């Protein structure tokens, strides 16, 4: 149990640091705003209790909000997204089911299902975040384009990270 808490704490810190000190410092374009920190929420074990997921999502988003002075937008987007996580997981469940205490990896899902899972997770998060940010439907298509561009970059970063970080752990089994 303590090993899992330590492992997930390291992942949380790593995802937050990559977001704050690398991605937020890149001036790619206003349309492209990758939100890598949600990788932590994506890889949490399937059977994590719902109240713990909601607290972790809130704290993760709140941490980003504190550094970006974004007034709770990230916390709201994370909590809203994590609320639908169970539905997304059931939709893409592997035939064998899920392991109890394992990261959600490409090995467990298969590449196609993992990409779809990440895609839906990122889509819900980014739509929520960017529509809360503009708080209007006035620029509806502009916000959709921003969601698509940022979501695609976020998905690519998350899938590449999953392949890189979990390839070693799956090959040593």
User: Are the C-beta atoms of residues 22 and 37 closer than 8 Å to each other?
Assistant: no
Instruction: Give the pTM.
Output: 0.89
Whole-Å CA distances, 33 to 134, 145, 150:
14, 12, 5
Q: Percentage of residues in the chain with pLDDT exceeding 90?
A: 62
User: Are the C-beta atoms of residues 146 and 33 closer than 8 Å to each other?
Assistant: yes
Q: Categorise residue 104: left if φ over 0, alpha if ψ from -120 to 50, beta otherwise.
A: beta
In the predicted model, residues of the chain with pLDDT beneath 50 are 170-173
From CA 93, how far away is CA 4, in angstroms rounded?
Answer: 23
The residues, any chain, with a CB within 8 Å of residue 21's CB and separated by 6 or more, are none
- Closest Cα partner for 153 from 109, 124, 123? 123
**What residue segments make up the domains of the chain, in order of their start?**
33-167
pLDDT tens-digit series, residues 56-100 = 999 999 999 999 999 999 999 999 999 999 999 888 877 777 766
């Amino acid at each position: 149990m303590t090993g899992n808490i330590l492992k997930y704490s390291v992942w949380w810190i790593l995802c937050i640091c990559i977001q704050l000190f690398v991605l937020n410092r890149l001036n790619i374009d206003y349309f492209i705003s990758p939100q890598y920190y949600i990788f932590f929420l994506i890889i949490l074990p399937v059977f994590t209790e719902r109240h713990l997921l909601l607290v972790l999502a809130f704290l993760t988003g709140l941490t980003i909000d504190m550094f970006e002075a974004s007034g709770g937008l990230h916390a709201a987007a994370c909590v809203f997204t994590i609320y639908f996580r169970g539905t997304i997981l059931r939709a893409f469940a592997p035939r064998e089911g899920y392991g109890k205490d394992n990261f959600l990896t490409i090995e467990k899902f298969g590449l196609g299902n993992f990409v779809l899972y990440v895609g839906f997770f990122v889509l819900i998060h980014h739509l929520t975040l960017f529509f809360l940010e503009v708080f209007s439907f006035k620029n509806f298509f502009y916000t959709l384009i921003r969601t698509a561009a940022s979501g695609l970059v976020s998905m690519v970063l998350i899938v590449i990270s999953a392949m890189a970080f979990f390839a070693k752990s799956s090959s040593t089994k």
